[in-house]
C-alpha cells in the first residue's frame, strides 16, 4: 500500500478517537485539512481538547450518530479503528456491513511514516518517555519533524507535535518520531530507519500467551528496520538483530560494554546529574564522545537510561549540536503521568505515575527512595487487567512490598471480564508489608483529608488518574 496521501482524503472517522494513540493521528489529519470526526465511549479532558480544535465527537454508539457525510462517502473518507473497540460495536459493524475499508491505528501510522525518515521507539517500559524526549531534543535543535506520542508531553501539552519553521534533516524527506506499540503486534506495521527497544519484559500475555512469543515479536520488529538502518538496543534486552542493519547498544552504568553509556554522578537540589559517553562506529571509523555534568530535567535512574538512548540517536546518529542537546535534556519536563509532580506543599509531596508492570513499579519506587530517603513512602496502586494481575502476581507483590504503606484499589478491568479468584484482596495477601489495606477512591480521599501522607505515589494505568486533581486539592487547600 502506498504512503498516506492526505490530499486524497476529505474526511476521517475514528472509532475510539479519545485514545492517546488515536487522538494523535486525528490531530495530524485535522491539521492537514481533513475534516475529522469520531466516536468515543465517554467524554474526557482529551476529547474535550479535540472538540475545541474543531473535531466533532459523538458519545453514542448508534448508526444515527454517524455524521451523514461519513455514512455516505466512500472513496474520500478514511475509517480508523482502535483495538479497544468491542466486537459488538454498532458503528463498527455498520461500516463492515457496507464493505468499507477500515484501517487499524497501527496501519495508519505505518502509512504516514512510510516515505519518511522514521524513528520508532518500542519497549515494555520507557517508550513513551524516550520518544517524547527525542521529539523534544529535535525541537530544541531546530529540526523539522512530526511526532506521534503515547502520552501528553508536559513541555507542549499535546501528544501530537510538529515543527515546520526549522531545518530539515534530510531535504525532501520528512522526519517522523513515533511510539511503536507491542500490543496486538501493532509495531509490525512499521518500517523504521532507526528503532529503539528500551525493554522486553513479558507483558500482554492475553495476546501473546507465552514469553517466547513475546520475545519473538520484538525480533520481528527489529527485522522491520530498513536495510542499513540502525537498532538502538538496551543491553538488558536479549534478542538477535538482523545482519543487514547496524546495532548500537546502550545502558546505564555499562562502561565500555555498550556503544552509548551513562554514569550517574549525583543528586543536587532535587535533580539527577550524569555523564554520557559513546563509542560509535560509522563507515568503519570508530569515534568517541563524552558529555559531562548533564542535568536531567526528569528524575529517576530509568529516565537517565531513557536519556542515554535519546542522546545516542541525537548526538551520534543524527550529529545534532552538543550544546542544544544538553540544554534539551535539562529542559525536558517529561510526560503527563510519568513521574509527574502533583503537589509539593507543606503537607507533603505527591507524585503520579502510569506504572502498571512490576518492573515499572520497582523502578519508580527505587528512584523516589533515592530522592527522598528519609520520608515514609505511601503508594496508592490500581492494578490494570485481571490477566496481568494473575500472570505477574509474584512480581507485583515483590515490587509493592518496597513501599512503607500500600493502599490497593480494585483491579481495573479495561477490555476484560473478571477472572475467578483474581482480586485485589488476593494480591494484597501476597504483599509482605505490615501497613497495607484495600481502599476505594472515596476512602483514600478521606484518609488523605484526615492525615495526608508525607510522600504519596499514585500508581496505575486504569482510571486512577481521576483521583489526581482531587488529591492535589486536598494537599494544597489551606
Q: What is the pLDDT of residue 1?
A: 46
Q: Dihedrals φ, ψ of 64, to 5°?
A: -65, -25
> Hey, what CATH topology would domain 113-331 get?
3.40.1190
Q: Which of 129, 74, 142, 117 is nearest to 225 (CA)?
A: 117
Q: What confidence tier does 59 reach under pLDDT thresholds 50, 70, 90?
A: very high
Residue 223: its H or E element: helix 211-223
**Residues 111-170: tens digit of each pLDDT:** 999 889 999 999 888 899 999 999 999 999 999 999 999 889 999 999 999 999 999 999
- Of 174-183, 224-233, 326-335, 418-427, the one with minimum mean pLDDT is 174-183
Q: What confidence tier does 2 reach under pLDDT thresholds 50, 70, 90?
A: low
Rg value, the chain, Cα: 22
Asked whether residue 272 carries a pLDDT value surpassing 80, the answer given is yes
Q: What is the pLDDT of residue 371?
A: 83
Q: What confidence tier does 213 reach under pLDDT thresholds 50, 70, 90?
A: confident
Q: What is the pLDDT of residue 221?
A: 93
Instruction: Provide, rounded to the nearest whole percent, the portion of the chain with pLDDT above 90.
Output: 65
Mean pLDDT of 301-327: 94
More confident residue, 227 or 340: 227
> Hey, what CATH topology would domain 8-104 get?
Rossmann fold (3.40.50)
Q: Cα separations (Å) of 144 from 27, 175, 324? A: 17, 7, 15
Domain edges within the chain: 8-104, 113-331, 340-476
Question: Would you say 189 and 107 are in contact if contact means Cβ atoms under 8 Å apart?
Answer: yes
Give CA 90 to chain center in angstroms. Answer: 30
**Cell 518500542 -> residue:** 122
**Residues 426-454: tens digit of each pLDDT:** 999 999 999 999 999 999 999 999 999 99
Mean pLDDT of 367-374: 87
Q: What is the pLDDT of residue 202?
A: 63
Mean pLDDT of 15-25: 92
Where on the phi/psi map is residue 14: left (φ > 0), alpha (ψ -120 to 50), or beta? beta
Question: Would you say 83 and 183 are in contact if contact means Cβ atoms under 8 Å apart?
Answer: yes
Question: Which stretch, 177-181, 192-196, 218-222, 368-372, has highest mean pLDDT?
Answer: 192-196
Q: What is the mean pLDDT of the chain?
A: 91
Q: Classify each residue of 323-357 as buried b or exposed e, where b means 16 or more C-beta atoms within 10 Å of its C-beta.
A: ebbbbbbeebbbbbbbbbebbeeebbbbbbbbbbb
More confident residue, 205 or 220: 220
**Residues 402-435: tens digit of each pLDDT:** 999 999 999 998 778 899 999 999 999 999 999 9
Question: Which stretch, 202-206, 209-213, 389-393, 460-464, has highest mean pLDDT?
Answer: 389-393
More confident residue, 1 or 398: 398
Q: Strand runs (DSSP E) across 253-356, as ranges?
A: 260-268, 271-282, 285-296, 340-344, 349-353
Locate 289 and state its grid cell: 564522545
Task: List beta partners, residue 38.
Answer: 14, 57
CA distance 397 to 417: 22
Assigned superfamily of 340-476: Mur ligase, C-terminal domain (3.90.190.20)
Amino acid at each position: 500500500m502506498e504512503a498516506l496521501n492526505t490530499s486524497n482524503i476529505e474526511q476521517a472517522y475514528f472509532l475510539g478517537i479519545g485514545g492517546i494513540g488515536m487522538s494523535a493521528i486525528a490531530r495530524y489529519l485535522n491539521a492537514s485539512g481533513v475534516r475529522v470526526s469520531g466516536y468515543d465511549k465517554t467524554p474526557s479532558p482529551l476529547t474535550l481538547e479535540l472538540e475545541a480544535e474543531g473535531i466533532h465527537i459523538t458519545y453514542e454508539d448508534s448508526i444515527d450518530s454517524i455524521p451523514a457525510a461519513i455514512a455516505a462517502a466512500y472513496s474520500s473518507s478514511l475509517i480508523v479503528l482502535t483495538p479497544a473497540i468491542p466486537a459488538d460495536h454498532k458503528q463498527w459493524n455498520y461500516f463492515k456491513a457496507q464493505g468499507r475499508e477500515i484501517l487499524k491505528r497501527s496501519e495508519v501510522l505505518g502509512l504516514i511514516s512510510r516515505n519518511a525518515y522514521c524513528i520508532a521507539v518500542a519497549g515494555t517500559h520507557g517508550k513513551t518517555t524516550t520518544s517524547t524526549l527525542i521529539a523534544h531534543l529535535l525541537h530544541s535543535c531546530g529540526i523539522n519533524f512530526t511526532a506521534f506520542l503515547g502520552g501528553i508531553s508536559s513541555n507542549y501539552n499535546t501528544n501530537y507535535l510538529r515543527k515546520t519553521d526549522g531545518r530539515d534533516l534530510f531535504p525532501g524527506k520528512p522526519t517522523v518520531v513515533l511510539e511503536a506499540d507491542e500490543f496486538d503486534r501493532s509495531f509490525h506495521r512499521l518500517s523504521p530507519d532507526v528503532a529503539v527497544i528500551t525493554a522486553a519484559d513479558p507483558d500482554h500475555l492475553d495476546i501473546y500467551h507465552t514469553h517466547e512469543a513475546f520475545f519473538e515479536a520484538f525480533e520481528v520488529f527489529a527485522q522491520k528496520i530498513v536495510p542499513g538502518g540502525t537498532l538502538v538496543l538496551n543491553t538488558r534486552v536479549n534478542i538477535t538483530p538482523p545482519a543487514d542493519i547496524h546495532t548500537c547498544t546502550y545502558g546505564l552504568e555499562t562502561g565500555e560494554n555498550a556503544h552509548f553509556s551513562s554514569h550517574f554522578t549525583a543528586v543536587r537540589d532535587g535533580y539527577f546529574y550524569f555523564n554520557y559517553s559513546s563509542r560509535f562506529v560509522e563507515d568503519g571509523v570508530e569515534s568517541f564522545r563524552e558529555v559531562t555534568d548533564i542535568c536531567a530535567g526528569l528524575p529517576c535512574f530509568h529516565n537517565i537510561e531513557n536519556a542515554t538512548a535519546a542522546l545516542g540517536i541525537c548526538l551520534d546518529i543524527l550529529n545534532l549540536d552538543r550544546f542544544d542537546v544538553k540544554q534539551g535534556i535539562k529542559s525536558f519536563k517529561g510526560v503527563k503521568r510519568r513521574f509527574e509532580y502533583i503537589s509539593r506543599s507543606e503537607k507533603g509531596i505527591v507524585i503520579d505515575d502510569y506504572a502498571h508492570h512490576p518492573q515499572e513499579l520497582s523502578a519508580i519506587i527505587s528512584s523516589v527512595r533515592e530522592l527522598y530517603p528519609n520520608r515514609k513512602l505511601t503508594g496508592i496502586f490500581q492494578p490494570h487487567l485481571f490477566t496481568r494481575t494473575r500472570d505477574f502476581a509474584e512480581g507485583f507483590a515483590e515490587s509493592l512490598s518496597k513501599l512503607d504503606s500500600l493502599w490497593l484499589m480494585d483491579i481495573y478491568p479495561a477490555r476484560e471480564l473478571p477472572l475467578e479468584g483474581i482480586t485485589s484482596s488476593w494480591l494484597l495477601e501476597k504483599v509482605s508489608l505490615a501497613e497495607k489495606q484495600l481502599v476505594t477512591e472515596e476512602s483514600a480521599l478521606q484518609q488523605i483529608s484526615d492525615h495526608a501522607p508525607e510522600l504519596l505515589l499514585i500508581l496505575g494505568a486504569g482510571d486512577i488518574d481521576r483521583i489526581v486533581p482531587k488529591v492535589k486539592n486536598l494537599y494544597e487547600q489551606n
